[in-house]
Amino acid sequence: MTGPDVSDPIVVMDLPKSWGLVVLRGVLAVLFGLLALVWPGLTALALAIVFGVYALVDGIGLLMDAFRNPDKSNRGMRIFGGVLGIAAGIIAIVWPGITVAVLAILVGAWALVTGIAEIVAAIRLRKQIEGELLLGLAGLLSAIFGLLVLIWPALGIAAIAAFVGVFALIYGVVLIVLGIRLRKLARG
């Protein structure tokens, strides 16, 4: 039995076809991030709807890439990601209140559990490492934030808007740079 011929190039992406889609996804992510940061006073429902539109379009983009890209090795993952994006987008658009409430509760619970775990780790490590006080302090801050978000979900929504906005901006810029590089390679 012989292995694959290493001299055969593996086509991962059809560059001339995919660079524009990558740039479009990046631009949409940047626009979404700017909306989340520039207008923090947007209602939670509006943020959920904007997220829904973004997730829907991004999911459609992933599905398009899955069927247009000649690389079949990870097609299943792109299809799965696209279907999840479309489903998340539809849910967020149809039930924006539930989307925001669930997201705030998840962030609050995560911060609370993570904070408690960090406090416990700091107590257990106090004899073994230096700086455990900082770990305990970080855990305390995380636990307090999580508890506040669970009590007042609107606080969590504002924090989520800022976090998502920054993430979307960075993600979008990276995709745009990638798309531009793909275009240059395609013209190469």
Dump pLDDT digits (tens) for 79-125. 988 899 899 889 888 988 788 788 788 878 888 998 898 888 888 87
165 in a domain, yes or no? yes
Q: Is residue 7 assigned to a domain? A: no
Residue 170's pLDDT is 93
Indicate whether 155 belongs to any domain. yes
Query: Is 13 among the domain residues?
Result: no
| pLDDT, tens digit (0-9, with 9 covering 90-100), for 30-67 | 998 898 888 765 656 777 888 889 889 998 988 998 88
Look at residue 3 and tell me if it is in a domain: no
Does a structural domain hold residue 40? yes
Q: Number of folded domains in the chain?
A: 1
Of 25, 20, 95, which Cα lies nearest the Cα of 54?
25
Residue 10 lies in a domain: no
Query: By the 8 A CB rule, do 177 and 23 touch?
Result: no
Spatial separation of the C-alpha atoms in residues 94 and 80, rounded to whole Å: 21
- Is 71 a member of any domain? yes
Joined together, the tokens standing for residue 165 give: 């906005």
What are φ and ψ of residue 155, in 5° steps?
-60, -45
Distance of CA 17 to the CA centre of its chain: 24
pLDDT for position 165: 84
Find the domain containing 70 and state its range. 23-181
Degrees, nearest 5: CA angle 110-116-120: 145
